[in-house]
Structure 1
């Protein structure tokens, strides 16, 4: 058996199965119970140090 045929057969079977299982594991990890709080915290982390909206006409200082 030449190398190309071996790698093609391997990719069509075991590597495909491994990638599908990895994808399903990643989906289960993201959508597990209790993860919503962590996702919400990460999404709102950029607003953590803001005191409120800027008054009209004021420019933000860098």
Structure 2
């Protein structure tokens, strides 16, 4: 394979691969049931660590 063929493959299929990865990541973040997990994660910095655990 010469440089031009590799560049053509990277330009076309590389773009397709990156778009599919982006769509997959967005789909993973907005999947049903993820809201509670991310809401809990967003509250971690606000948790009071000085309280004794019961």
Q: Which runs of 5+ in 2 are unaligned?
A: none
* Runs of at least 5 residues in structure 1 that lack an aligned partner in the other structure: 52-62
**Greater fraction of residues in helix:** 2
Count of matched residue pairs: 50
Tell me, in whole angstroms, the C-alpha distance in 1 between the residues paired with 2:7 and 2:25.
25
What TM-score do the two structures reach when normalised by structure 2? 0.76
Q: Which has the larger radius of gyration?
A: 1
CA RMSD of aligned residues (A): 1.8
Give every structure 1 segment of 4 or more consecutive aligned residues whose post-TM-superposition deviation is greater than 4 Å. none
